[in-house]
Amino acid sequence: MRKSLQRDVILDIIVNQKEHYTSKEIYELAQTKIPNISLGTIYRNLNQLVAEGYITRLKTKDGLDRYDNNIHKHHHFICDKCLKIMDIDDEIPLAKNNFPDGDVAYYTIQFHGLCKQCKEGSKNNGTKRK
Report the DSSP beta bridge partners of residue 116. Answer: none
pLDDT in tens, 24-65: 999 999 999 999 999 999 999 999 999 999 998 988 877 889
Go through the domains of the chain in sequence order and give each one's CATH number: 1-71 (1.10.10.10), 72-130 (3.30.1490)
Does the pLDDT of residue 96 top 70, yes or no?
A: no
- State the chain's mean pLDDT as an integer: 85
Q: pLDDT-derived band of residue 22, with 50, 70 and 90 as boundaries?
A: very high
Q: CB 59: neighbour CB atoms within 10 A?
A: 11
Q: CB 13: neighbour CB atoms within 10 A?
A: 22
Q: CB 14: neighbour CB atoms within 10 A?
A: 21
CB of 18 closer than 8 Å to CB of 25: no
**CA max distance for the chain:** 64
Higher pLDDT, 93 or 119: 119
Q: CB 121: neighbour CB atoms within 10 A?
A: 14
